[in-house]
Structure 1
Amino acid sequence: MAHDQAALETLLNQLISHWENEVVEFKRGKDGFSSSDLGKYVSALANEANLRRQDRAWLVFGVEDKTRAVVGTTYKETQEHLQADKQQVLNGTESFTFRDIHVLHHKDGRVILFEIPAAPRGMPISWNGHYYGRAGESLAALGQDKLDDIRRQTLGTDWTAQVVEKASITDLDPNALKIARERFIAKHANRITPEEMVNWSDVALLDRAKVTQNGKITRTALLLLGRPESAWYLSPHPAEITWKLEGDERAYEHFGPPFLLASSQVFARIRNIQLRILPRNELLAHEVAKYDQKVVLEALHNCIAHQDYTRAGRIVVIERPDKLVLENQGGFFEGQPEDYVLSERVPHRYRNPFLAQAMTELNMIDHMGYGIQDIYRRQRQRFLPLPDYDLSEPHVVCLTIHGRVVDPAYSRLLMQQTGLPLADVLALDRVQKRLPITEDAASHLRRTHLIEGRKPNYHVSAVVAEATAKKADYIRMRAQDDTFYAKLLTDYLEKFGQANRGDITQLLTTKLSDALDDKQKHQKISNLLTKFRRKGVIVNTGSDAAPCWQLAEKSAAKK
């Protein structure tokens, strides 16, 4: 969350007044403070915040822990170096990092406040494979009782965490087990040697990967690794992904466990041709795949992780000629999709925490909320429309991934201006889809000359239109100056002497902006006639019901 300096100073005073406890730690934060110690404190404070039902914890550099005095810190004095800490912590925890890093320029010295989200319910946070906590004001290993307390938070309510008593490891697919081992080894290679993990039994590996519980098969194990014929253990809750092709050709196929393999099998069914996007002033087209594999798999894995299996529904992937639509049961569980696109929101809760943690261990998802950001980022880098979430149907999340160019102007703009802020790209994406944007967004895009037109008919501005090499399209959308229409009308009346309303409508309609509908064009012509009449350019020599328009000077000359 963003704070101004006054708000940060107030926050610091509040933290100091309560002094150190299990969810606040003060350090002088010397320049040589190690990333290892930083990671240990993140693990400890996140776990303690979870146990104390706090939504965040704080690690503060630049405050003397004994005197409670602000002494300032020289720790990483550039913003880039501080942001690098986020990535280092993410690497060490493998799925978790700071919510934000705030810098306060206090009168007594620089203070850094690391904002650490609480560990999600049921999911303790480790640093390099070890769990940390607090013993009073000291850093310590997280006690087994505390570790169990966190893990028990969701075991009773998490459908995916339940043990299937009659199932055994023979109910798991051998090829899925092989792939799971490879993925776990790749994910943890920086702290456990591959040679060591190769010697682990399947039972030991699955326990370490949080897929099983003390060697017992869970519903998560059957979903991710189960043999297809073992899906009956999950009945009456169907474990199924349906791919459906719609358009001139129709087809469908159902995919069951193991979902670790099924997601790639679903992607293989999708027809993934190459798209050609022609940059401005270039002869060679830029080619991109219609669908990016990482985007589709990230979206599909999110469906698997967040599906409400108790609703007895299936995951559906609908392939249409120009888009993919992915649907999963259960409403968006934590916040709204837009919370994860522009901000660095960290989800506090999961519908299926046991399944989410297992999928994280097998490198299928992250559980920091970065997956949605990555989907949007990759679509932007491929110059295609951004995804759309539809939450209008109760208890269903619907995600659309576009597989074609909607507006060439938008795509070519992204190719030329790769540094546009994501907020601007999101707004321009809505403009190209003829969706409403906020007044603030519209004002900003106008100031930066990215759009023009009147609400709600915004369209690409001249700057962008020229970049698209579609100048003819731009001219059709652009609203001309009223003097342009006056010249057309006066030239017509000069030549033909007079015109009725039908003549004028036929003359001007095709010259008006295509952004206007028929009703708006009719009203625009009426406004132009009124304006020209009041200025003394034309005069109505007929009636209101049957007008006959002439040039004012010609009419006066006749009289």
Structure 2
Amino acid sequence: MDQPALNTLLEGLIHTWENEVVEFKQADNDYPTNKIGEYFSALSNEANLRGLERAWLVFGVSNKTRGVVGTSYREDSERLHSLKQQVAQTTEPSVTFRNIHELQHTGGRVLLFEIPAAPRGIPIAWKGHYHARAGESLGSLGLDKQDEIRQQTLAQDWSAQLVPAASLADLDEAALHKARDAFAQKYANRFSGEEVMGWPLSTFLDRARITQNGKITRTALLLLGKAESAWHLSPYPAQMTWKLEGIERAYQHFAPPFLLTTSQLYQRIRNIQLRLLPQDELLPVEVSKYDQKIVLEALHNCIAHQDYMRNGRVVLIEQPDRLVFENEGSFYEGVPGDYLEGNRIPRRYRNPFLAQAMAELNMIDTMGYGIHDMFARQARRYLPMPDYDLGESGAVRLTIYGGVVNPAYSRLLIQQTDLPLADVLALDRVQKQLPIPDEAVTRLKRAGLIEGRKPRFYVSASVAKATASKADYIRTRAQDDEFYAKLVIDYLYQFGQANRAEIDKLLIDKLSDALTLEQKQRKIGNLLTKLRRRKRILNTGSRGKPEWKLAE
């Protein structure tokens, strides 16, 4: 959201004032992270219970005056946004802010933390404790509210249903040992490995969200069940199939426990080393044909999102130059492109009980990072990007490439390892002869990365030629705020003082060409405000005609 939109949002929140899904704090730079986590848990849970998409924690507004007073909380942008990772590490399941909005209000700096509602059926805990709101007060999430959230999907969630005929004896000992080990690693900051290994089995399974009050669920049989106990799930086939296509043909079926057999399936894939030859070099770059983390991420996603009521199996087809993953059911929350930047957090799951259990065992995350990580890792291996085919069959097909489509693309990635993922995605579409947006065409042509005319573009065969145009390309990319801050500090050190016009002249041409003049001027104003609040510079003039000097 831009600044006017944020200002309108803030006015609306102040007008309705605090309630179960909105909290205001003045907050100084030392506001405790633990308190933020407690509010995150409470506001997220309350948003879920009220059927809302988000809740808000706002810094820089006084509870006494109900007006903007500004906040000094984490004025450094990098440190501010590191809070996302801190929250993700300590919430259960792992979630974090959808966004942190910074508003430069006339009354001071305001931070609006956008908190996603807890997923249906899954309450959010902070450091193992569930929090809630009672009006404007922070408290514990009572058992009645916990049950209300957990019951949201139990009736519809195939994976949460109990299997009365099954018992703990139907679970595989090796899988149970690995599950405890995975859980202990995930929560190493809370429990020692010895403590987790010492819990009674029923206690561990309940804490790992695999059973319900010690009773066996379909999730427990899928992840930890013995192969000979899979009949409990009939007529639903609990099965993964590996199929080899090409000159040689073979196949193998894999039954539970999926916690173990996904790795066994991976071992069947023929994973040789590929030799990629960079431009004008004699020594090749070697990469494995398939990355284990990518393959297991894709396979675990198939298990988590499979529509088991369609009575199908998860299939992995190995072709000479690619892997094709298939699972029953449409893409459940949004489309794959929503998750490429790693910012989208899924709100719903087809199998929420199964998804939460897999997250507890470190098989998947529930933050929507999986797709982004698969694409980023494939780019770092200089190979084509994965392809999703949602089709019309009600199934999802994911293709992971294990070979080069266009040598120019791979050579370019080897030569320019700092390309943003958005540019790599566009180049990948070009090599596959797929259309790309006009703005991407302009950006890539300016950088010399593609050639040709619409609609027939192709990746530039000459990396050297592309390198000659790097200066134009770099001008469209924003630098870190500290880069611009150093220019201002150096200028003031050299010349003693500067007015706003002189600082504009210093920075305007150095800011990203992707910004309009108005956006550049606003960014410079925000930068000066930040430096003033950090007491690195001071204004010896008036507000209308500032004269900036270095602070003593």
TM-score range, shorter chain: 0.7 to 0.9
1:52 equivalent in structure 2: 50
CA distance in 2, matches of 1:64, 1:419: 43
The share of aligned pairs that are identical, in percent, is: 66
Matched residues, number:
466
2:25 equivalent in structure 1: 27
2:319 equivalent in structure 1: 320
1:222-260: CA deviations, max 9, x gaps?
000000011111100101100000001000000011010
CA distance in 2, matches of 1:320, 1:92: 41
For the 8 Å contact 2:278–2:411, the answer to whether it is kept is: yes
Structure 2 residue 119 is the aligned partner of structure 1 residue 120: yes
CA distance in 1, matches of 2:417, 2:74: 29
Structure 2 residue 370 is the aligned partner of structure 1 residue 374: no
CA distance in 2, matches of 1:335, 1:291: 27
1:485-520: CA deviations, max 9, x gaps?
xxxxxxxxxxxxxxxxxxxxxxxxxxxxxxxxxxxx
1:130-153: CA deviations, max 9, x gaps?
111112211111111111111000
2:231 equivalent in structure 1: 232
For the 8 Å contact 2:255–2:261, the answer to whether it is kept is: yes
- How does the TM-score come out when normalised to structure 1? 0.82
1:103-130: CA deviations, max 9, x gaps?
0000110000111100000011111111
Structure 2 residue 424 is the aligned partner of structure 1 residue 446: no
For the 8 Å contact 2:221–2:256, the answer to whether it is kept is: yes
For the 8 Å contact 1:385–1:429, the answer to whether it is kept is: yes
**1:325–1:133 CA distance, 2 compared to 1 (3 A):** same
1:218 equivalent in structure 2: 217
1:530 equivalent in structure 2: none
CA distance in 2, matches of 1:182, 1:11: 46
For the 8 Å contact 1:280–1:467, the answer to whether it is kept is: no
CA distance in 1, matches of 2:107, 2:158: 52
* Secondary structure of residue in 1 paired with 2:433: coil
1:310 equivalent in structure 2: 309
For the 8 Å contact 2:447–2:466, the answer to whether it is kept is: no
1:349-381: CA deviations, max 9, x gaps?
100000000000011000111110110011011
Deviation at 1:467, TM superposition (A): 6.8
CA distance in 2, matches of 1:389, 1:66: 53
Uncovered stretches (5+) of structure 1, i.e. residues with no partner: 469-559
Which protein is bigger by CA-based radius of gyration? 1
For the 8 Å contact 2:408–2:461, the answer to whether it is kept is: no
Structure 2 residue 66 is the aligned partner of structure 1 residue 89: no
1:480 equivalent in structure 2: none
Deviation at 1:343, TM superposition (A): 5.0
Deviation at 1:67, TM superposition (A): 1.5
Question: Out of 43, 62, 65, which is 2:63 matched to?
Answer: 65
CA distance in 2, matches of 1:413, 1:83: 31
Question: Out of 2, 11, 14, which is 2:12 matched to?
Answer: 14
* Secondary structure of residue in 2 paired with 1:458: strand
Please give the residue correspondences for 1:30-429 in structure 2 after superposition, counting only pairs within 5 Å.
30-94=28-92, 95-342=94-341, 344-429=343-428
For the 8 Å contact 1:209–1:362, the answer to whether it is kept is: yes
Instruction: Give the ranges of 4+ consecutive aligned residues of structure 1 lying more than 6 Å apart after TM superposition.
Output: none
For the 8 Å contact 1:405–1:411, the answer to whether it is kept is: yes
AA partner of residue 245 (structure 2): E
**1:258–1:462 CA distance, 2 compared to 1 (3 A):** closer
Cα RMSD after superposing both structures: 1.3
CA distance in 2, matches of 1:144, 1:282: 65
Uncovered stretches (5+) of structure 2, i.e. residues with no partner: 468-552
AA partner of residue 203 (structure 1): S
* Secondary structure of residue in 1 paired with 2:149: helix
Deviation at 1:189, TM superposition (A): 1.0
CA distance in 2, matches of 1:239, 1:69: 58
2:521 equivalent in structure 1: none
2:503 equivalent in structure 1: none
- How does the TM-score come out when normalised to structure 2? 0.83
For the 8 Å contact 1:412–1:467, the answer to whether it is kept is: no
For the 8 Å contact 1:409–1:467, the answer to whether it is kept is: no
